[in-house]
Amino acid sequence: MPSSVRVTAPGKINLHLAVGPRDQSGYHPLATVFQAIDLADDIVVRTSSELTLTMLGTDLPADESNLAVRAARLLARYADVPATADITIHKRIPVAGGMAGGSADAAGTLVALDALWGLNLTATELQELGIKLGADVPFCLLGGTALGVERGDALTPLLARGRYTWIVIAQEAGLSTPLVFEHFDRTHPFPSCPEVDDRFLRAIAQGDTKYVAGMARNDLAESCVELHPGARAALEACAAFGLPALVSGSGPTVVALADDDVAADVCPYVEEYVPGGTCLVAHGPVSGAHVVG
């Protein structure tokens, strides 16, 4: 068995996010298309006699509330092994940004500890554990491009051609996902049944990246910009530069499709428009959380 394992845990964006009415469990039925992108957290786990977590590049708490610790404990219980490892997470995915940063860490921790502890769980077993940790965790395990229904955790991998270059505009201050959903409930008392139209799925399959980015729909976008002026500024900046842009998940991160050769050059100009915004370049789709090195 290895004494250490390194995993890359990609964040996600939503190319489509249709939201239905909140159900009795407090969740909303979704029809969403996820894409995993190469803006990823780096996770290293090492053998140890106890369970510790070190978070680098963020002031997020590294205690029992952290989804990575909860993932470790859940996996240990399921496999009936001691929950012992030193986990180090180098955070790159924006925190509370709508990119499933916490879920990526949970998915990455499951994959890393499965390897460290020599468990060899199946993808289905990991998915079932993932569902217990959060609605986005199953996709963070799967990666690529996938349709998500129910809570967004019932996944179908999609045929997807093409490579997308995204300008990612992250914000200094994040947004709470439950808060955005609550705002959506207040402002959309009668949402329709969430769907994705066939033409959009065909464009994904054909690799028509411009159509996909131009037609991307996010039912939470309006709530996001009402709650976060930075997200509105980011969308306006992208419009000013003629870049098709979308809010990722519940936001406030905004991503815009750009030509590969100019994306990095555009970033400083976009940043000027967005106080508290940081711009970087990422690509998708990529694989889900996996062991590297």
Distance CA 184, CA 175 (A): 13
What is the distance of C-alpha 189 from the center of its chain? 27
**CA proximity to 227, closest of 191, 170, 174:** 174
Q: Does 267 bind ligand C5P (CB under 6 A)?
A: no
Closest alpha carbon to 14 in 163, 198, 139, 169: 139
Q: Which is nearer to ligand C5P, 151 or 290 (CB)?
A: 151
Contact range with ligand C5P by CB under 6 A, out of 3-11, 24-32, 220-228, 280-288: 24-32
Active-site annotation holder among 12, 105, 114, 153:
12
Cis status, amide bond into 10, omega within 30 of 0: no
Gap between the Cα atoms of 226 and 228, Å rounded: 6
Question: Distance (Å, rounded) from C-alpha 229 to C-alpha 242?
Answer: 20
Q: Residue 135 interacts with ligand C5P (CB under 6 A)?
A: yes
Q: Which helix (H) or strand (E) is 225 found in, with range?
A: helix 221-227
Stretch of 38-46, 131-139, 218-226, 238-246 lying at the interface with ligand C5P (CB under 6 A): 131-139
Question: Which residues does 184 contact at the CB level (< 8 Å), separation at least 6?
Answer: 19, 28, 191, 219, 220, 223
- The single residue among 178, 210, 269, 292 that binds ligand C5P, judged by CB under 6 A, is 178
Binding mask 136-165 toward ligand C5P (x if CB under 6 A, else -) reads x--------------xx-------------
Residue 30 interacts with ligand C5P (CB under 6 A): yes or no: yes
Q: Which residues make Cβ contacts (< 8 Å) with residue 277, sequence separation at least 6?
A: 169, 170, 171, 172, 230, 233, 234, 270, 271
Whether 12 sits among the annotated catalytic residues: the reply is yes
Task: Tell me: does residue 105 bind ligand C5P (CB under 6 A).
Answer: no
Contact between 27 and ligand C5P by CB under 6 A: the answer reads yes
- Residue 131 contacts ligand C5P per CB under 6 A: no
Closest to ligand C5P by CB, 29 or 277: 29
**181 binding ligand C5P? (CB under 6 A):** yes
User: Catalytic: which of 41, 105, 114, 136?
Assistant: 136
Catalytic residues: 12, 136
Which residues of the shown chain bind ligand C5P in the complex (CB under 6 A)?
A: 26-28, 30, 134-136, 151-152, 177-178, 181
